[in-house]
């Protein structure tokens, strides 16, 4: 039996108001999510829009005659003579032969500027690998200079007055001639993935930084995972509850929120100044990142251990297992997926970190690919920082491309964490 | 068990680094960084030595590391966008770094630029000072300082644009800012007679007046990243920016340098030292490391060769302004003889 209170007009108004409030409440959530997605989409479109062209590089096909006269080789063919031969001269000669009408010092300089200074090194590598080529002619592709690359990709406006752009009219003319002859090609930019850093954008690559990141992360993983798990197991399974463990717990939670640059300062004063480890080494970087990721891993591992129901432990103990057997045979395997997830997320954080590495000298120009954790090296986020600060226009797209590579790594790692959780997590 | 493994790992890690270094270690100014890296790369590719490692730490930070001592754990070369200070030389000496070779490598101009979407501007250093200083002489006359009242350029001089004063420049940690304050702001502030007279009577007040930049939004600290300033100028045609010449050189299709004191910021004017806001770039070499670290001599030879720092060398291509011939010869000689620094 309905009372009039439930059917009255006042009630209907109250009901309408309540429903409207609920709709608004839901709308707030949707607006929040839309904003987040929009921000993310803007970020991605601007990075991808700026960066996708960096995966291609303009190449110029040259007809190179490995003339021993031009190379200054004479009769010598031994590696030492080949290593020190005049390769820039050979590149210049090739360019002059292609455009025989170019006269005057200034024009010639402009002509030589079309091809990358890396062309000479490429030819050197080729001849060192196969000295039999001397005296022969062959068509090879060499990278174009970064300014020409920008021109071909349309980042330099051909319409603005000549004085205001870096590529001059005569250079544009030569490039157009080469384009008509089919000598200009845009190909996949392999150098970007195989080369170390360079001050010439067309020769610069992320391999050095990626290898540096790898070494630093290996050190971090090797140290922070065992230490983190051991600390979590002790705190969760063995430690008595007293003031001391409370204090430790508060400190661990606190450390997780400390700005990462502080860890860099700590690393500088302990590992470099006190222990005398070399600056710029991935080993030190890894140690610093270990300090930074440890709290994350400990907290995640403790949560994973906590989620293992006490009944498992009691059952194991009841069957006569020792405390250690209980932990190693039952609790740890059950908690492992959660621990791994925490570790992967900690590693992803460490991969994206640059601030603590500023203090320990990893913000450096390093061309050679590091061969071990003691060689000087840099890491991916630092490489991005360095390129973003370079004056050359072509580094703008390379910066974005490096960000894309870093994001790809981060997404993969985080996806792995999600997959692990989905597959192995057990609900009780 | 785990602990012994970790202890062993840490122990071996700490025992390993006490070994010779086979690459050159360079630290210092972020202004010199784009030039010295080019030389290092060229050096690494054309010789059998490893490519030097170059850290961008800023001039002051670099010299601090450089002066910390002699030995493989300390850098061999420090770059600076200003000359080494007497206090730094003393610090060096107290740590055993007695013999230092000074090499001037060239010049760098600091430009005052805006977007090409706006009209080019002719400005004097005095006008720059009036626009950017925290306290300026009272516009109503008299020898008193008042908080900067100018909000628009045209209030300073009718020939300047009728837009809000908005200048993007480097933060105080930057060497570019030091040089800009010293050459640009102080240069303009000296043009006012009674302030110049203050230099003798009250040196500290003079410095504070000439070097302190306004904090009411007229001068925006845009970070150390000059590229960012260029992009912001492109987006905001009414604003001006302060940065190194190499960025103007690389982006001349987007931005234009203002004419300062009647001089255009061109390669030729900076090289002739006619352009008023330009500074010298240096690097310092630890003599004790020459011969001890492989390749130092050869690296110096590469740097001081004409194909690097000459008038048509590859450093000039990157935007560095070379020194005149005789100055270049002098410093090349100093390097050859490993001549000691004398302030």
| Nearest Cα residue in chain A from B224 | A389
Q: How confident is the model at residue B15 (pLDDT cuts 50, 70, 90)?
A: very low
**pLDDT given for residue A132 in this prediction:** 85
Answer whether residue B75 shows pLDDT above 90. yes
**pLDDT given for residue B60 in this prediction:** 86
CB B79 within 8 A of CB B204: no
Answer whether residue B173 shows pLDDT above 70. no
Are B88 and B122 in the same domain? no
Are B168 and B225 in the same domain? yes
**pLDDT given for residue B338 in this prediction:** 86
Over residues A356-377, mean pLDDT: 90
Q: Are strands B259-260 and B122-123 parallel, antiparallel or unpaired?
A: parallel
Can you name the residues that pair with B279 across neighbouring β-strands?
B108
Residue B12 domain-assigned (yes or no): no
Over residues B70-79, mean pLDDT: 92
Longest dimension (CA), chain B: 82
Residue B343 domain-assigned (yes or no): no
Distance from CA of A164 to the nearest CA of B (A): 4
Are B132 and B232 in the same domain? yes
Over residues B304-328, mean pLDDT: 86
Higher-pLDDT residue of B19, B67? B67
pLDDT for A154-167, tens place per residue?
888 888 887 778 88
pLDDT for A44-56, tens place per residue?
999 999 899 999 9
Return mean pLDDT, chain A.
Answer: 90
CB B282 within 8 A of CB B343: no
Count helices and strands in chain B by DSSP H and E runs: 17, 13
Q: In degrees rounded to 5, what are phi and psi of residue B11? A: -65, -45
Collect all residues of chain B within an 8 Å Cβ-Cβ radius of residue A393: 250-251
Over residues A263-271, mean pLDDT: 92
Domain housing B103: 23-108+279-337
pLDDT for A112-133, tens place per residue?
889 998 898 889 888 888 888 8
B9 touches chain A (CB under 8 A): yes
B190 touches chain A (CB under 8 A): no
This complex has an ipTM of 0.79
**pLDDT given for residue B9 in this prediction:** 52
Burial of A406 (0-12, 13-18, 19+ CB in 10 A): buried
B2: which 2 tokens? Answer: 């785990």
Q: What is the CATH number of the domain that holds B39?
A: 3.40.190.10
Are B193 and B274 in the same domain? yes
pLDDT for A168-210, tens place per residue?
888 999 999 999 999 999 999 999 999 999 999 999 999 999 9
Collect all residues of chain A within an 8 Å Cβ-Cβ radius of residue B6: 223, 226-227
Are B247 and B140 in the same domain? yes
Whole-angstrom distance, CA of residue A350 vs CA of residue A267: 15
pTM of the model: 0.82
Collect all residues of chain B within an 8 Å Cβ-Cβ radius of residue A198: 41
Are B139 and B259 in the same domain? yes
Answer whether residue B4 shows pLDDT above 70. no
Q: Are strands A137-143 and A364-365 parallel, antiparallel or unpaired?
A: unpaired
Interface test with A, best of B21, B227, B229 (most A CBs within 10 A): B227
User: Among partner residues B51, B226, B252, which is closest to A164 by beta-carbon distance?
Assistant: B252
Q: How many domains does chain B have?
A: 2
Question: Which CATH number among 3.30.70.260, 1.10.3720.10, 3.30.930.10, 3.40.630.10 corresponds to the domain A207-424?
Answer: 1.10.3720.10
**pLDDT given for residue B19 in this prediction:** 55
Are B75 and B215 in the same domain? no
pLDDT for B141-152, tens place per residue?
778 888 889 999
Are B321 and B213 in the same domain? no
Give CA B91 to chain center in angstroms. 22
Q: How confident is the model at residue B23 (pLDDT cuts 50, 70, 90)?
A: very high
B225 touches chain A (CB under 8 A): yes
Whole-angstrom distance, CA of residue A304 vs CA of residue A225: 14
Angle at A209 between CA A207 and CA A213, to 5 degrees: 115
Residue B68 is classified by DSSP as T
């Amino acid at each position: 039996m309905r009372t009039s209170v439930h059917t009255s007009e006042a009630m209907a108004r109250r009901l309408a108001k309540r429903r409207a409030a609920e709709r608004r409440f839901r709308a707030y959530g949707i607006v929040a999510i839309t904003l987040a997605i929009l921000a993310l989409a803007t970020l991605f479109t601007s990075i991808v829009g700026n960066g996708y062209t960096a995966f291609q590089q303009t190449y110029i096909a040259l007809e190179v005659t490995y003339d021993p006269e031009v190379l200054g080789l004479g009769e010598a063919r031994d590696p030492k003579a080949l290593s020190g031969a005049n390769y820039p001269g050979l590149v210049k000669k090739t360019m002059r032969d292609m455009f025989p009408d170019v006269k005057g010092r200034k024009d010639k300089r402009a002509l030589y500027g079309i091809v990358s200074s890396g062309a000479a090194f490429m030819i050197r590598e080729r001849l060192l690998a196969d000295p039999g080529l001397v005296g022969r002619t062959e068509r090879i592709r060499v990278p174009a200079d970064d300014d020409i690359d920008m021109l071909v990709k349309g980042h330099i406006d051909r319409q603005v007055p000549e004085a205001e752009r870096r590529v001059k009219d005569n250079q544009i003319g030569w490039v157009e001639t080469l384009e008509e002859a089919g000598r200009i090609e845009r190909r996949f930019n392999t150098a970007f993935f195989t080369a170390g850093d360079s001050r010439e954008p067309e020769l610069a690559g992320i391999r050095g930084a990626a290898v540096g990141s790898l070494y630093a992360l290996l050190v971090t993983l090797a140290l922070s995972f065992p230490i983190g798990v051991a600390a979590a197991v002790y705190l969760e399974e063995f430690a008595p509850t007293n003031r001391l463990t409370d204090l430790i717990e508060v400190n661990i939670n606190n450390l997780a929120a400390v700005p990462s640059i502080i860890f860099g300062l700590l690393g500088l004063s302990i590992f470099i100044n006190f222990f005398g480890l070399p600056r710029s080494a991935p080993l030190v970087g890894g140690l610093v990142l270990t300090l930074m990721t440890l709290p994350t891993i400990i907290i995640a591992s403790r949560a994973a251990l906590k989620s293992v129901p006490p009944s498992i432990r009691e059952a194991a103990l009841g069957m006569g297992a020792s405390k250690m057997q209980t932990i190693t045979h039952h609790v740890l395997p059950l908690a492992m997926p959660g621990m791994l997830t925490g570790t992967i997320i900690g590693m992803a954080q460490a991969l994206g970190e640059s601030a603590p590495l500023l203090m320990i000298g990893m913000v450096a120009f390093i061309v050679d690919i590091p061969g071990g954790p003691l060689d000087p090296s840099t890491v991916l986020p630092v490489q991005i920082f360095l390129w973003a600060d370079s004056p050359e226009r072509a580094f703008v797209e390379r910066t974005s491309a490096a960000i894309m590579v870093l994001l790809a790594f981060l997404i993969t790692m985080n996806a792995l964490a999600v997959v692990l959780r989905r597959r192995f997590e057990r609900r009780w | 068990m785990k602990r012994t493994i970790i202890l062993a790992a840490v122990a071996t890690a700490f025992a390993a680094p006490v070994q010779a270094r086979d690459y050159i270690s360079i630290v210092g100014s972020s202004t010199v960084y784009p030039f010295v890296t080019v030389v290092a790369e060229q050096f690494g590719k054309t010789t059998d030595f490893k490519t030097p490692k170059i850290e961008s730490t800023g001039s002051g930070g670099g010299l601090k590391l450089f002066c910390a001592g002699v030995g493989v754990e300390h850098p061999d070369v420090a770059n600076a966008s200003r000359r080494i200070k007497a206090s730094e030389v003393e610090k060096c000496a107290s740590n055993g770094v007695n013999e230092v070779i000074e090499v001037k490598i060239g010049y760098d101009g600091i430009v005052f630029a805006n977007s090409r979407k706006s009209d080019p501007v002719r400005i004097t250093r005095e006008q720059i000072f009036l626009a950017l200083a925290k306290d300026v002489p009272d516009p109503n006359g008299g020898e008193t300082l008042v908080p900067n009242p100018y909000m628009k350029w045209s209030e300073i001089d009718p020939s300047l644009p009728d837009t809000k004063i908005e200048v993007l420049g480097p933060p105080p940690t930057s060497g570019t800012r030091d040089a800009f304050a010293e050459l640009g702001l102080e240069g303009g502030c000296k043009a006012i007679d009674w302030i110049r007279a203050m230099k003798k009577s009250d040196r500290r007040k003079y410095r504070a007046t000439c070097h302190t930049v306004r904090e009411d939004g007229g001068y925006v600290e845009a970070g150390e990243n000059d590229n960012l300033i260029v992009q912001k100028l492109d987006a905001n045609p009414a604003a001006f920016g302060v940065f190194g010449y190499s960025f103007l050189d690389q982006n001349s299709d987007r931005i234009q340098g203002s004419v300062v004191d009647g001089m255009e910021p061109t390669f030729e004017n900076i090289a002739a030292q006619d352009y008023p806001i330009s500074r010298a770039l240096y690097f310092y070499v630890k003599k004790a490391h020459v011969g001890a670290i492989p390749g130092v001599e050869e690296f110096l030879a590469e740097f001081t060769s004409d194909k690097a720092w000459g008038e048509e060398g590859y450093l000039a291509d990157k935007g560095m302004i070379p020194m005149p011939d005789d100055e270049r010869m002098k410093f090349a000689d100093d390097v050859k003889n490993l001549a000691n620094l004398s302030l």
